[in-house]
Chains A and B, each alone.
With several copies, the nearest count.
Chain A
Amino acid sequence: MTLRPWIAAAALAATVLPGMALAQDADVTPPMQDIGYIFTTFMFLVTGFLVFWMAAGFTMLEAGLVRQKNTTMQLMKNMGLFSFAAIMYYLVGYNLMYPGDGWTISGVLGAFGAASLEPVGLADTETDLTYASVGSDFFFQLMFCATTASIVSGALAERIRLWPFFIFVILLTALIYPIQASWKWGGGFLANEDAAGFMMSTFGTIFQDFAGSTVVHSVGGWAALAGALILGPRLGKYARGGKITPFPGANLPLATLGTFILWLGWFGFNGGSQLYMDTAGNVADISRIFANTNTAAAGGAVAALILTQFLYKKPDLTMVLNGALAGLVSITAEPLTPSLGAATLIGAVGGVIVVLTVPMLDRMRIDDVVGAIPVHLFAGIWGTLAVPLTNDAASFPAQIFSILVVGIFVFAISAVIWTILKAMMGIRVGEEAEMNGLDMTELGMEAYPEFSQS
């Protein structure tokens, strides 16, 4: 910015030569009505970059949990999916999710059209200063959309072809995610507080999902489940006679790093979902959310640690990582109202769910490489169901109904898309390609070319 040099120089001079300091000018401080807007907008930028960081977390988690020979592919899918998500959410998703008054079908299908931001400097516009800038809101919401896509990539690793995966991601981030998210967060029918609206008249409460145990995580989980079923398990994973062959992750430090990144990003994910930081009450609420999010993750990790110790005699690191993430997913539907103790327990139940359902999926021969379905779908359902335990504005029937509506919509449409992709272009690499690893056969590039394998 062109003003930089002089002002910076002035600031320096002011210190070095205090006598030179400019007289205080009352016009420089923000006008009173800007302050809340600045607080909330900046909060979205900070929490938004934390959620962005989760994309790196998923990438590292997945790169650590696949086998060496499929690592480059996993990296490529994660870089690609975030980039496609960013572009599709801008072109289609944002207005579909937040149509304001422009619903195509009221409360069900939002508006079509690319997102556009405020003019530079808010020039020539009367801005509503009670919330935050559209730019910051767009930035923040975009990251949620990308998160949904990240969830899918882990479950389908080590066998899916690159472009069919990207095509699915494009449809997921442009259409599936935004449409269902509009029902709740865009003010659609699941969030309609009119006494005469469907939710209130039927259940007496609307659907409550603070930061997206259902709207984000279970959606990713349903899409992944549909994909995993249609794609089939990895070669050699399930032998006749029920024998399950584990394919241990190649690089557990990366997987652990990914988990820590996700944990960090989640403070933004849940904290930013408070949506306001313009009063003491709001910032105190964000603080509650940070503390609860942290303790739920700890609860999930400890639960998985203790449970795997008891079940298998040796604690399982990958389960502890999944347990922490399940704790985070579990608290996401309601990170505000629980006490620290309740949050810890809600997270711990998430950890238990993961430890019990990972082998269950294996027994069902549903091959989920990184545990995405237990973590995001099962713990997401649990988290959504747990809301009424601490929040009176939620009810079990409304929660169950919403879980089902969202689940059926996402699972069905995902299944249709995967089936069409399978029929039209094939979604799975060939047998020999899968044996030799996707890195060489699909991308011609090894992730660790100089490290010898054993």
Chain B
Amino acid sequence: MKLIIATIKPFKLEEVREALTAVGVRGMMVTEIKGFGTQSGHTEVYRGAEYAVNFVPKVKLEIAVASSMADQVVETIQKAANTGKIGDGKIFVLDLQSAVRVRTGETNEDAL
């Protein structure tokens, strides 16, 4: 199994979620994060003092999938989250050793 970690623009969340459901992803964890990258924020003025906003609000998805599905999931996210503009985000894939469903104790792919 793989754990896919993706960071995307917040307003793309719904679209990505729908696309993933369509390819059979049945669950994920979603976290609000602050992203730091090339799209490095912008300058604002507060009460006459300039300052740089270095972080950009992003959403992070964590999805455990069977290894066989991993490529398709990555591709799906990449397509759905794409706007072509800087700051679209990244997708990371890690190896997942085991998984357990708390409710039933089922393990590994049965747990997803």
Which one, B11, B32, B51, contacts A452 given CB within 8 A? B32
For chain B, residues 23 to 54, give those with C-beta under 8 angstroms from any C-beta of chain A: 32, 34, 44-51
Whether the Cβ atoms of B32 and A318 lie closer than 8 Å is no
Q: How far is the CA of A31 from the CA of B50 in the complex (A)?
A: 61
With a cutoff of 8 Å between Cβ atoms, the chain B residues found around residue A454 in the complex are 32, 34
A245-B51, A454-B32 known; A444-B11 Cβ under 8 A: no
Whether the Cβ atoms of A436 and B11 lie closer than 8 Å is yes
Q: Categorize the interface residue count of chain A.
A: 20 to 34
Whether the Cβ atoms of A316 and B49 lie closer than 8 Å is no
Whether the Cβ atoms of A246 and B51 lie closer than 8 Å is yes
Which one, A312, A314, A444, contacts B48 given CB within 8 A? A312
Whether the Cβ atoms of B48 and A445 lie closer than 8 Å is no
Q: How far is the CA of A440 from the CA of B46 in the complex (A)?
A: 12
**Interface stretch among A176-184, A290-298, A354-362?**
A354-362
With a cutoff of 8 Å between Cβ atoms, the chain B residues found around residue A312 in the complex are 45, 48
Q: How far is the CA of A359 from the CA of B46 in the complex (A)?
A: 10
Residue A430 interfacial (CB < 8 Å): no
CB distance from B15 to the nearest CB of A (A): 11
Whether the Cβ atoms of A453 and B47 lie closer than 8 Å is no
Nearest A residue to B83, CB-CB: A432
Whether the Cβ atoms of B46 and A355 lie closer than 8 Å is no
Which one, A316, A436, A453, contacts B45 given CB within 8 A? A316
Residue A319 interfacial (CB < 8 Å): yes
Residue A371 interfacial (CB < 8 Å): yes
Q: How far is the CA of A314 from the CA of B47 in the complex (A)?
A: 11
For chain A, residues 312 to 348, give those with C-beta under 8 angstroms from any C-beta of chain B: 312, 314, 316, 318-319
A435-B11, A453-B32 known; A246-B57 Cβ under 8 A: no
Nearest B residue to A246, CB-CB: B46
Which one, A244, A311, A371, A440, contacts B49 given CB within 8 A? A244
CB distance from B72 to the nearest CB of A (A): 26
Whether the Cβ atoms of B47 and A358 lie closer than 8 Å is yes
Q: How far is the CA of A246 from the CA of B57 in the complex (A)?
A: 19
Nearest B residue to A318, CB-CB: B47
Which one, B10, B34, B46, contacts A316 given CB within 8 A? B46
The residue among B48, B51, B57 with the most chain A CB atoms within 10 A of its own CB is B48
With a cutoff of 8 Å between Cβ atoms, the chain B residues found around residue A358 in the complex are 47-48
CB distance from B35 to the nearest CB of A (A): 12
A435-B11, A436-B11, A444-B44 known; A359-B34 Cβ under 8 A: no
Whether the Cβ atoms of A318 and B46 lie closer than 8 Å is yes
For chain A, residues 398 to 454, give those with C-beta under 8 angstroms from any C-beta of chain B: 435-436, 440, 444-445, 452-454
CB distance from A74 to the nearest CB of B (A): 17
Residue A253 interfacial (CB < 8 Å): no
Whether the Cβ atoms of A355 and B45 lie closer than 8 Å is no
Q: How far is the CA of A246 from the CA of B32 in the complex (A)?
A: 21
Q: How far is the CA of A359 from the CA of B32 in the complex (A)?
A: 31
Q: How far is the CA of A444 from the CA of B53 in the complex (A)?
A: 10
CB distance from A431 to the nearest CB of B (A): 10
Residue A197 interfacial (CB < 8 Å): no
Residue A248 interfacial (CB < 8 Å): yes
Which one, B10, B11, B34, B49, contacts A246 given CB within 8 A? B49
Q: How far is the CA of A436 from the CA of B32 in the complex (A)?
A: 14
With a cutoff of 8 Å between Cβ atoms, the chain A residues found around residue B44 in the complex are 314, 440, 444-445
Residues of chain B whose beta carbon lies under 8 Å from any beta carbon of chain A: 10-11, 32, 34, 44-51, 57
Cross-chain pairs A/B with CB under 8 angstroms, 25 sampled: A245-B49, A245-B51, A246-B47, A246-B49, A312-B48, A314-B44, A316-B46, A316-B47, A316-B48, A318-B46, A318-B47, A319-B47, A359-B47, A359-B49, A362-B47, A362-B48, A362-B49, A436-B11, A444-B45, A444-B46, A445-B46, A453-B10, A453-B57, A454-B32, A454-B34
Query: Other CB < 8 Å A-B pairs besides A452-B32, A453-B57, A454-B32, 10 of them?
Result: A244-B51, A246-B51, A248-B46, A311-B48, A314-B44, A318-B46, A358-B47, A436-B11, A444-B44, A444-B45
Q: Which 4 A-B pairs have the closest CB atoms?
A: A359-B48, A246-B46, A444-B44, A244-B49
Residues of chain A whose beta carbon lies under 8 Å from any beta carbon of chain B: 244-246, 248, 311-312, 314, 316, 318-319, 355, 358-359, 362, 371, 435-436, 440, 444-445, 452-454
